[in-house]
Chains A and B, each alone.
Chain A
Amino acid sequence: MSGVNETVVERKSDRELVVTRQFNAPPEIVFEAWSRPEIFQRWWVPKALGVPLRACEMDVRTGGGYRLEFGLDAANAMAFFGKYTDVVPPSRIVWTNEESGEITVTTVTFKDLGGKTLLTLSELYPNKEGCDEALQGSAAGLPIQFEQLDDLLADRAG
């Protein structure tokens, strides 16, 4: 926990949340961690959750698709899927989140800061309600496992 690279969240509008953070590596490396499934799955679902990804298929190219499925077994699995609508290595990845029936669009950009990277992630919801739900954590994008994460964070903060 360096404290230097702080994660900042802003609610830009009723429909949009924006997360920014700096990383101590050039965009090529950060992009790689986002575009190679075997690497991506190691940080996207933090180990602390103790919930293994059952499947992680990612074809990070414009027009490609992805499917992440996690849960302890098939009966309790939760799937996330969508398409990559705009991929420009190493500076930009845009994808859709389609599991909830309404499409949310996530845009991640990697800006070169001379050996470092400014990452900006924007989540654009189809309406205000979707955005509110995401914040409350009850949206499809936040499975039950996040409750464990919440507990964990509460413990750490306490």
Chain B
Amino acid sequence: MSQADLFTTDGAKARVDHMLIAEMVEAGSRVLDVGCGDGELLRLLSEKRGVDGRGVELQRDKVNACVARGLSVIQGDADRDLDNYPDQAFDYAILSLTIQATRKPQTVLENLLRIGKRAIVSFPNFGHWRVRSSLAFGGRMPVNDNLPDLWYLTPNAHLCTIRDFADLCERIDAKVERAVAFSDYGRPLPIKWSLSMQNLFGEKAVFLLRSSSS
């Protein structure tokens, strides 16, 4: 992607995982962004890829801001509300930096793979070396840019490593079409690196998944 693609129309720089997701999504497709926050990804997808996007967000003020900006977003809970969507209603169901905050990650992931022809999931990697060293040497839960909240304030309920997530995908029979981990500086790690290396040096990861039954 060119440098110009990294900026949305108002000049703000897009998040790197958002950029990668935008690259994975086919132009003009139908997208459901679960946990869409302030709608930045939806807006990026709409502007850069011409997608027909919808969002679900738990926090009321963020939903209000999205709708006031003209995005189709509903106030709702990924753990509770995904059951209502029909099978294959979207080309992509996206969960960007949200799965760790859900109560039932497996159910949510299964729902994503049912609702979307493909699912895209990004998450903070708890196997990153700084997390490991914080626990190993500091004896404390990590607090950094990627995991900014203290343990008693964090919305995260189910943190996992890249390996853990890959295991879950295998367990629920999800086919991993693509997996990319990012370094601390937001650069994708070399594809030839092993999963253990990605798990050690990846700060975040993005998985493109497909249900093996579809």
Chains A and B belong together in one complex: no
Q: Which residues of B contact A (CB under 8 A)?
A: none
Q: Which residues of A contact B (CB under 8 A)?
A: none
